[in-house]
Amino acid sequence: MSINPDLVTVGIDMGGTKIAAAPFVNGQLLIDEIIKEPTPQNNAQAILDLMSSMVKKISEKHQVKAVGISTAGVVSNEGQMIGGCGNIKGWKGTKVKKELEAMLKLPVAVENDANCAAYAEYMVGAAKDFDPVLLVIVGTGIGGGIVFNNKIWRGAHFAGGEIGHIKIVDKRTRRCTCGAWDCWEAYASGNGLQNTAHLFYADPTMDNYKLMDLYHKGDETASQVLNTWHEYLALGMASVINTIDPEAVVLSGGMAKFINYPELNKKVRARVVDALKEYVNIIEGTLGNDSGMVGAACLANVELQTRATV
């Protein structure tokens, strides 16, 4: 199902430090009308109240028909937070969909932030001509989302797409944020790149921006670090592609801009099974930091259409 441009929805991106909301009109997020507010801490009701007020403010200018929420954490089919919610304390257990629908008198869709980002790129972004699609978020950690036939693949327990925790090494060398050793995230994320850089440089202040500055100046050691990081990216990427066989893999997140896409495609192509080598297609996302809002708004748009046909 495609986006109905006549339906105005609101996309909300819920993070640990800020909440952003914007209207989605004629198939586009109105960037100039984004509202941002600090996330209330340790108080789910305060978060819901803030979301409600943001939607009401947008509704003063637009005839909003539905609302989509992109949030960290695992979300049930009923729009309830049922898993870990990152830095958002007090959010677990919140019946987001039920509470907001009662407050706003509007349909509300709630989805995990990585799934929303994947849905955004699939519907209106870099992957709109491909199906199925895997989104890999390369940021502080590694996240993922899978979309096919216009639907997000969420898994039996709503945690589908947690690709960052594929084990790529068996040496108990790096501890992952999940508590396990040697997950893909521990090597291929932004933190992974920085940790790799520290193995090559004695400089304790070395970070990814300083590394990239050295790389662009032709520093040989920086090139070695980046090549090693691309090897780590390729290891996990090949495993996921072998498992899912997507028509396209879209990379998003803060680290996506540091990736050499021709080189990564080459490295992954060398690692996948023979039947998939000619089909490796890794591309950069086009929606950036707005992908969560866009995906949530798209999801609300499509779900509203689905309700109308039932």
**Residue 310 pLDDT more than 60?**
no
Average pLDDT of the segment spanning 111-128: 96
Residues 161-217 pLDDT 10s: 889 999 998 889 999 988 999 999 999 999 999 999 999 999 999 999 999 999 999
Residues 225-247 pLDDT 10s: 999 999 999 999 999 999 999 99
- Between these two residues, 17 and 270, which has the higher pLDDT value? 270
Q: What is the three-state SS of 56-99?
A: HHHHCCCCEEEEEEEECCCECCCCEECCCCCCCCCCCCCEHHHH
**Residue 86 pLDDT more than 70?**
no
**Residue 287 pLDDT more than 60?**
yes
Write down the pLDDT at residue 307. 79
Write down the pLDDT at residue 88. 80
Write down the pLDDT at residue 72. 86
Write down the pLDDT at residue 140. 87
Write down the pLDDT at residue 178. 86
Query: Mind listing the domains of the chain with CATH numbers?
Result: 8-118+289-309 (3.30.420.40), 127-285 (3.30.420.40)
**Residue 11 pLDDT more than 90?**
yes
Please tell me the pTM assigned to this model: 0.92
**% of the chain residues with pLDDT over 70:** 98
